[in-house]
Structure 1
């Protein structure tokens, strides 16, 4: 059974202190992430009589914000405004308001689209807005564990096992569940899949219209299904589009829209001038593996009998957990993947501002061989002293050293460290 959340339970979000700190010194704070990730619940914790709550999912509020954004904002000293991407012109009115009154913490916004990718919005609040990412629940949040693995590794610590280790069938069920709060509150796989199907339909039908004008909206559900079958693989826009009668350019545009809505993640290729045989194609991942599994119709019984399909799910799961760890870290980190034309690879390359690198390879098996470190060794040789650590995360309960700064480790260290 998948661990089910108590519907009344409030799980402490690692982003809470980040929002609190940002409100103390920044005029506008945006909580940014996918729908149903918990943004409203978090934002309402900061709402009171002096900071009233408005949601643009309410039709009358949305109409008022769209028809007269300046009038809507006029007279509001402080507010929480939910789903602000539904009325983009509101951002200019907020800019004018906070330029007149520079008091910190005036507006706490939530957005279910990456507003940083919309130039007019990003430019209008440059220097005035702090962005706090909020993805679906991380395992560190569900389990009330530290979730400091990346910070500790970049600080020079060795990987350690702290707390319970999740293995085998329990790991598979955890990956299949994903992190959406509403999914984790449902007791059966059928109920979880039903919610996820409705969720995708709502986003593709309504939220896409809020952020983009596209001619062939009906192609998006089919594109999502195609992308799900290619999760963890290199992106081939021409191939994806051909199945739908779309050009490669149009397919690329549509994938960018899905990424802006936090449904998928394109992982850029890592580059280095010293290496000439690197593949320069991004890889495709899904932000939530519960959603990915639902689109692929991957249920526990199917994966238990055909574990070859589990590898790509697990790789997306690890990337998502790493992104969540980075989202509440004070370190700025970038993510990429390493792959050569000889197909040597490192699933996730994490680089900090100082150019230091951690490499993560993901294996669904319990056994790790020296050859599984081939890509990590190449990466280590390419960056030299900037290489902090290389880990093969796999289905095991021990840490096994393979050479200096290269180890196999349980997947559980993603949340237990």
Structure 2
């Protein structure tokens, strides 16, 4: 029987970023959630002169934990997959690259955000570059440029081509998300089954690798509670009360879920000139497919419930922008703008020069002038630093709403 030809690999847009970092930095960490494609990417850099190790292998893990210095000694160049499983290796790697500072010696992958652990961040400061790898972006799936952020900060206006995606097609994209294994499955039931197993594995095994917590059984329920609050302001007291946990414990558990790349808190934008700004972060999930599975949201139901779809869509758009930023050469920060009068901008994207692009996200096809109220306030506050204000919505064309203000199709996220 003839073998089926292998499916072509989808090119990851951070691949050149990793290649460049290996050419001038001793240690490169590719960080992102499990099953986002880190191993596939890392293996492309393995070979006779760069040995591949995975700490998901029990024997390799035992050797790394038992004698980390001995494990690293004698290694010239290596790929070490899932390094968060043996954090003991980090100090041994530091000592090794201090003795031999040749660039590209270690390519690490981690399914927990090691860069947020002070001891690790401090020990490899100046020696390590961190590259983010999230599940597939739509620009990767469709092999489109994915240069929206660069083009907006270059002063370009949004452009809709004939390939805009909206209506039911957009719904399907958002509910599916970007995990490679999910995209291989052809039915919603099979996708949801994989995502449920995926969450169970992470909460049962990966949490133990990075934290000692007393009430591990509360985490699945906490994740469900957080899913219902996606797109809303973080409220640790409310999250904890739903599970009989203190606010402090809920905050600690949320931080663990964030380190595992399941959720992301979006900080508030701050400005000394505005005293009425809300200073509370917003909660998002890093994959809209996973969020939809946790919320038991299905396409048919969402078609009739645009409010519920809106929360899902906001996490989807936020995640797409993070992916676009991961391969942009610009250093960008993300925040949200909200006043005590509830005027808001869902995403404030700022470059190192303090220039700002504001994005409001709407699940509806219709956009009104009032939808730009928060963007206009932001524009008035920052003046010439305001580059562009967009309302991204479920439509197929660009509509001007004032100087530097446009409504645009959500699909500009991957068509530009």
TM-score (ref. length: structure 1): 0.98
Q: Which residue of 1 aligns with 2:400?
A: 401
* Deviation (angstroms), 1:162: 3.7
Alpha-carbon separation, structure 2, partners of 1:100 and 1:118: 24
Q: What's the CA shift for 1:160?
A: 1.2
Residue aligning to 1:261: 260
Q: How far did residue 116 of structure 1 move?
A: 1.0
Question: 1:11 and 1:302 mapped to 2: Cα distance?
Answer: 31
Tell me, in whole angstroms, the C-alpha distance in 1 between the residues paired with 2:77 and 2:244: 48
The match for 2:112 is 113
Unaligned runs of 5+ in 1: 1-5
Report the counterpart of residue 380 of structure 1 in structure 2. 379
Counterparts in 2 of 1:352 and 1:398: CA distance versus 1, 3 Å: same
Q: Residue 87 of structure 1 aligns with which residue?
A: 86
- Tell me, in whole angstroms, the C-alpha distance in 1 between the residues paired with 2:369 and 2:303: 26
Within 1, Cα distance between the matches of 2:242 and 2:154? 47
Shift of 1:7: 7.1
Matched with 1:156 is: 155
Could you say what the CA RMSD is over the residues aligned between the two structures, in angstroms? 0.9
Q: Distance in 1 between matches of 2:171 and 2:157?
A: 26
CA contact (8 A) 1:7 1:185 kept: no
Please give the alpha-carbon distance, in whole angstroms, between the structure 2 residues aligned to 1:368 and 1:40: 42
- Structure 2 contact 306–364 (Cα < 8 Å) conserved: no
State the 1:304 CA deviation. 1.6
What whole-Å deviation, never above 9, does each CA across 1:186-243 have from its counterpart, x for those lacking one?
A: 0111110010001001111111111111111110000000000010001111011011
2:169 counterpart residue number:
170
1:215 match: 214
Distance 2:408 2:286 in 1: 23
Do residues 55 (structure 1) and 54 (structure 2) align?
yes
Partner residue in 2 for 1:411 = 410
Q: Does 1:196 align with 2:163?
A: no
Number of residue pairs matched? 412
Cα distance in 2, alignment partners of residues 14 and 283 from structure 1: 27
Matches within 5 A, 1:2-401: 8-162=7-161, 164-401=163-400
Distance 1:134 1:236 in 2: 28
1:163, distance to aligned residue in structure 2 (A): 5.3
Q: Which runs of 5+ in 2 are unaligned?
A: none
1:305 CA displacement: 2.5
Post-superposition shift, 1:98?
A: 0.7
Q: Helix, strand or coil for the counterpart of 2:42? A: helix
Measured in 1, the distance between the counterparts of 2:174 and 2:30 equals 25
**Could you say what secondary structure the match of 2:213 adopts?**
coil
The runs of at least 4 aligned residues of structure 1 exceeding 3 Å deviation read none
Cα distance in 2, alignment partners of residues 407 and 306 from structure 1 = 25
Q: For residues 175 and 205 of structure 1, do their structure 2 counterparts lie closer, same or farther at Cα, with a shift above 3 Å needed? A: same
Residues 163, 416 of structure 1: 8 Å contact kept: no
Write the deviation string for residues 278-315 of structure 1: whole angstroms up to 9, x where unpaired: 11111100000000000000011211232221000001
